[in-house]
């Protein structure tokens, strides 16, 4: 008979061999306070990350490492694109022979104990280091890391504003190693209230607000049975005190069905992403598009970029949250800043077929509507940066998912007379402020080399004349 650890090897991820923990940009933090769980801390932040940015904790699966997850999951792309810091905890064979996070051990995965307490120490350290927004701390994880993610959300609902459980298990599904296989391969047959009680018991006396939770599951997963996703849905909707009947459903790429469960104010509280035919692993979608991410490999499955939709559900793109939107239309593409003055910013984007109108968001809040594919936001403050997204509104009045974000800075305010535009190199070229040659982007007029023509490299361009721009990173 297989031992429980052998079951865990088959079940919660015998993944591809781990990469060394020195992926480009990933840094180990040797001292981060109390570490009763004997974990290692790794972190990443894009250059010039301002204070007040979000923080995302990402947990790897069994036999993986922090650098493996960093390299393949796609989270670095969105940290660079939308501006947030990453913390990647790492366990080891010293803790568990398969380097699994101990989601099944109540001495290690409960509030104030073991690995859970170590992750909290990392969060505290990172918030202090980066000046992170304490109201925008999130956690995500794959498989065993997903099980620990659910536990952390229940343990510290006062710390984490949201979470994403990828091919994982409900909070406190198992409290001993012996019970772990029943959670993986079967069902405990609990009611939503009983699942919710496990959350409430993890931090007695806490009454909300609860984290917003995304759940990702392949329908052909034989390692962590799909019933776990349903049980996660039951658990967190019950914690929120909302119905287990979806407020809306939507079809997404990769054979994905999104079911949204709204809070009493009508905002998404729980989102369940079910991917038809996908086996056990993390959903990725390699490519250069904003909605694409990650690298394929063993247990990194080419279907849809889960990190993109999760980040948008949390509002990390400036849309205000709701990864899939509730409308029937896709996110607009090609959003670009066309001009800026000291009091106004003008935008344009590509039309969405079937759109009755568009809602434009400034810094995550609706700034206005447009019947066409352009909008001018006026009454702004001189010399100030603003982040914009846009969503298509269908004939029923429901807005779909928001576009990728762009940033513009109004002129004046001591910042010079030229308009400033902060965006990735791909969008700078698309907006006509730069051009590409040989895979590199160059600022129009000055021909300054901006680096690779992709969505990862971000620069601020300052307009110095008609069709003329210079790189003005950190000075505009």
User: Cis bond leading into 209, ω under 30°?
Assistant: yes
Tokens of 83: 């501006």
Spatial neighbors of 399 by CB under 8 A, at least 6 apart, are: 325, 326, 327, 359, 391, 392, 393
Residues labelled catalytic: 143
Q: Do 406 and 335 contact (CB within 8 A), yes or no?
A: yes
Q: What is d(CA 8, CA 461) in angstroms, rounded to the nearest whole number?
A: 51
Residue 392 — φ and ψ, nearest 5°?
-85, 140
Q: Do 26 and 43 contact (CB within 8 A), yes or no?
A: yes
Q: What is d(CA 138, CA 159) in angstroms, rounded to the nearest whole number?
A: 8
**Exposed/middle/buried for residue 277 (C-beta within 10 Å: 0-12, 13-18, 19+):** exposed
DSSP 17: P
Start-to-end Cα distance in the chain = 66
**Cα dist from 217 to 104, 199, 231, whole Å:** 19, 20, 12
DSSP per position, 229-279? HHHHHHHHHHHHT--SS-SEEEEETTTEEEEEEE-TTSSEEEEEEEETT--
Residue 49 CB coordination number (10 Å): 18
Closest to 121 measured CA to CA, from 165, 76, 159, 166: 159
**Cα dist from 399 to 265, 340, 360, whole Å:** 16, 26, 10
Q: What is d(CA 298, CA 103) in angstroms, rounded to the nearest whole number?
A: 22
Spatial neighbors of 268 by CB under 8 A, at least 6 apart, are: 212, 247, 260, 261, 262, 313, 321, 322, 323, 324, 326
Residue with tokens 């996110």: 331
């Amino acid at each position: 008979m297989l031992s429980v650890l052998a079951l865990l090897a088959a079940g919660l991820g015998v993944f591809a061999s781990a990469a060394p923990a020195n992926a480009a940009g990933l840094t180990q933090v040797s001292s981060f306070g109390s570490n009763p769980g004997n974990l290692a801390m790794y972190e990443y932040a894009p250059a010039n990350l301002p204070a007040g940015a979000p923080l995302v904790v990402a947990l790897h699966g069994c036999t993986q490492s922090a650098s493996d997850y960093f390299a393949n999951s796609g989270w670095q792309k969105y940290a660079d694109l939308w501006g947030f810091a990453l913390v990647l905890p790492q366990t080891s064979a010293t803790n568990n022979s398969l380097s699994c996070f101990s989601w099944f051990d109540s001495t290690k995965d409960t509030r104030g104990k073991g690995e859970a307490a170590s992750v909290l120490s990392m969060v505290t350290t990172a918030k202090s280091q980066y000046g992170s927004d304490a109201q925008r701390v999130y956690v995500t994880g794959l498989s065993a890391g997903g099980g620990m993610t659910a536990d952390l959300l229940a343990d510290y609902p006062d710390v984490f504003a949201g979470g994403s459980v990828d091919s994982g298990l409900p909070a406190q599904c198992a409290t001993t190693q012996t019970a772990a296989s029943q959670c993986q391969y079967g069902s405990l047959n609990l009611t939503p209230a009983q699942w919710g009680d496990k959350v409430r018991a993890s931090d007695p006396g806490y009454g909300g607000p609860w984290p917003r939770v995304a759940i990702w599951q392949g329908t052909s997963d034989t390692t962590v049975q799909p019933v776990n996703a349903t049980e996660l849905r039951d658990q967190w909707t019950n914690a929120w005190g909302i119905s287990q009947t979806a407020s809306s459903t939507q079809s997404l790429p990769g054979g994905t069905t999104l079911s949204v469960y709204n809070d009493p104010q009508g905002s998404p509280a729980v989102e369940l992403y079910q991917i038809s035919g996908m086996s056990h692993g993390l959903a990725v979608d390699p490519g250069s598009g904003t909605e694409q991410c990650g690298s394929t490999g063993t247990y990194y499955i080419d279907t849809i970029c889960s990190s993109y939709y999760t980040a948008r559900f949390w509002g990390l793109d400036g849309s205000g949250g709701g990864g899939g939107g509730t409308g029937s239309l896709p996110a607009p593409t090609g959003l670009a800043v066309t001009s800026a003055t000291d009091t106004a910013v003008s935008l344009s984007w590509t039309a969405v077929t079937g759109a009755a109108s568009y809602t434009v968001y400034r810094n995550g809040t609706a700034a206005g509507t447009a019947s066409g594919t352009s909008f001018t936001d006026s009454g702004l403050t001189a010399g100030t940066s603003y982040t914009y997204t846009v969503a298509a509104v269908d004939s029923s009045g429901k807005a779909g998912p928001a576009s990728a974000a762009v940033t513009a800075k109004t002129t004046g305010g001591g910042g010079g007379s030229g308009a400033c535009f902060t965006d990735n190199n791909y969008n700078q070229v698309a907006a006509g402020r730069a051009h590409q040659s040989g895979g590199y982007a160059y600022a129009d007029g000055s021909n300054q080399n901006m680096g690779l023509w992709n969505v990862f490299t971000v620069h601020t361009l300052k307009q110095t004349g008609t069709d003329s721009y210079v790189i003005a990173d950190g000075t505009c």
